[in-house]
């Protein structure tokens, strides 16, 4: 078998890359370890930046998102018994976020690729990449061989792509946070029209949603917390304690559909390329979910990679491919900083550090009273404008 681009991973990064390449007339094969039901059902991110929304619309895969997604023009910061709205429509006119689950994006992309005759292969095993430093890389899987011009590693933090890069090539940056998130999906109408980020002395809480009938919640818990310690009754009681901190707000409850504990960590690998292997999304970087940047960074990566590959196939120029890593990392580190900033702004770190708590509250006061500080939050939350890799001629999405 032969294709132009072999893509490992059928998450949002790999599927969107395959679709964008198809729109440029570039062939690809997508290889995925899990089955299709798993790929379409895994509950993860749900906040799409303005640029991500525009990218999906421009690529022709945004119709259902436009019908079912929930545009938001602000978020609420709740602390000290007070509520403060960060109004995107005033601070960053024309830009917003849309709440639309990652699994829904995956469903839309799979449907589009299959409709267009895309080659998606689920439940493949023994995936390995070879000859990355040559002009003729290839992938083996399940006893088969796939020759290609390039390989895109879109297989997440635990995939095979990044570990296939020889020792000593990558510089890896890591940060572990001293807490985790208990995530809850519940069949209950959201109690707020916008996301609520709540800082309390008991820990952080987030009220989010996935649809008009499904809500998403997060609680800060210890990093080694056992999910068995959190029956539904305890979850609702703690959410009420952390969210019902302003007069008149009552948290609606309902059946819990799913719950899990996610560690809070950050990671960046540099460079995001080795030979003919290009990393994208979680294969190259992860961020704590406080800033809602993971999926959005993956979209930014594959936009750049699509433009770079299109330039190479149309002109033979490797300028954009050579600049891919540097261009991606500029945005990655901005998102890393914003996610760290939001995390330190809202979480409880050390209950025995009254000085640190007072600094945190002072910082929150500045964000909620200074238009300049609030604008910085809003600009980063809705997503900074895209940049292109050197040499690429790309339509910018505002």
pLDDT at 26: 98
pLDDT at 392 over 70: no
Contacts of 192 (CB under 8 A, 6+ apart): 76, 207, 249
pLDDT tens, 286-338? 999 999 999 999 999 999 999 999 999 999 999 999 999 999 999 999 999 99
pLDDT tens, 188-232? 999 999 999 999 999 999 999 999 999 999 999 999 999 999 999
Taking CA atoms, 105 is separated from 43, 74, 170, 183, in Å, by 11, 22, 31, 20
Show the CA angle centred on residue 376, arms to residues 375 and 380, nearest 5°.
Answer: 110
Residue 389 pLDDT grade (very low, low, confident, very high; cuts 50, 70, 90): low
Question: Residue 129 CB: number of other CB atoms within 10 A?
Answer: 25
Pull the structure tokens for residue 257: 């559909």
Q: How many whole angstroms separate alpha carbon 86 and alpha carbon 294?
A: 21
pLDDT at 395 over 50: no
pLDDT at 241 over 90: yes
Pull the structure tokens for residue 161: 């792509």
**Would the CA dihedral through 74, 16, 301, 170 be positive or negative?**
positive
Q: How many whole angstroms separate alpha carbon 267 and alpha carbon 332?
A: 10
Question: Residue 167 CB: number of other CB atoms within 10 A?
Answer: 6
Contacts of 300 (CB under 8 A, 6+ apart): 51, 328, 331, 386
Q: How many whole angstroms separate alpha carbon 265 and alpha carbon 273?
A: 22
The CATH class of 5-72+96-174+265-350 is: alpha beta
* Strand, coil or helix: 396: coil
What are the boundaries of each domain within the chain?
5-72+96-174+265-350
Q: Which of 53, 55, 84 is nearest to 69 (CA)?
A: 53
Q: What is the mean pLDDT of residues 375-393?
A: 83
Q: What is the mean pLDDT of residues 254-279?
A: 97
Q: How many whole angstroms separate alpha carbon 264 and alpha carbon 133?
A: 34
Catalytic residue list: 72, 197, 289, 293, 381
pLDDT tens, 33-46? 999 999 998 877 78
């Amino acid at each position: 078998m032969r294709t132009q681009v072999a893509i490992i991973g059928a998450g949002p990064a790999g599927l969107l890359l395959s679709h964008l390449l198809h729109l440029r007339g570039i062939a690809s094969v997508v290889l995925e370890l899990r089955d299709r039901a798993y790929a379409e059902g895994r509950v993860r991110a749900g906040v799409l930046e303005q640029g991500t929304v525009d990218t999906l619309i421009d690529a022709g895969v945004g119709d259902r998102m436009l019908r079912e997604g929930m545009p938001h023009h602000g978020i609420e910061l709740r602390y000290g018994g007070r509520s403060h709205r960060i109004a995107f429509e005033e601070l960053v006119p024309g830009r917003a976020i849309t709440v639309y689950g990652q699994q829904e994006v995956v469903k839309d992309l799979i449907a589009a690729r299959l409709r267009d005759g895309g080659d998606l292969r689920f439940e493949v095993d023994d995936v390995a990449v070879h000859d990355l430093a040559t002009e003729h890389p290839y992938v083996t899987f399940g006893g088969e061989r796939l020759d290609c011009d390039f390989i895109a590693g879109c297989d997440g933090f635990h995939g095979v792509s990044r570990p296939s890069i020889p020792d000593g090539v990558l510089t890896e940056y890591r940060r572990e946070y001293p807490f985790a998130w208990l995530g809850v999906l519940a069949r209950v109408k959201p109690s707020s029209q916008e996301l609520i980020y709540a800082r309390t002395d008991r820990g952080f809480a987030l009220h989010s949603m996935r649809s008009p009938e499904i809500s998403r919640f997060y609680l800060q818990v210890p990093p080694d917390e056992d999910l068995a310690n959190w029956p539904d009754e305890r979850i609702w009681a703690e959410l009420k304690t952390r969210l019902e901190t302003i007069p008149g707000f009552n948290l609606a409850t309902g059946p819990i559909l799913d719950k899990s504990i996610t560690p809070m960590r950050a990671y960046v690998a540099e460079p995001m390329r080795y030979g003919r292997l290009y990393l994208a999304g979680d294969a190259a970087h992860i961020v704590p979910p406080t800033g809602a940047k993971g999926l959005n960074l993956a979209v930014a990566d594959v936009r750049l990679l699509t433009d770079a590959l299109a330039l190479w196939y149309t002109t033979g120029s490797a300028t954009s491919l050579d600049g891919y890593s540097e261009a991606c990392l500029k945005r990655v580190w901005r998102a890393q900083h914003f996610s760290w900033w939001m995390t330190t702004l809202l979480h409880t770190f050390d209950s025995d550090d009254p000085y640190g708590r007072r600094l945190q509250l002072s910082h929150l006061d500045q964000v909620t009273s200074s238009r300049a500080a609030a604008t910085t939050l809003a600009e980063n939350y809705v997503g900074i404008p895209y940049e292109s890799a050197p040499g690429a001629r790309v339509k910018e999405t505002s």
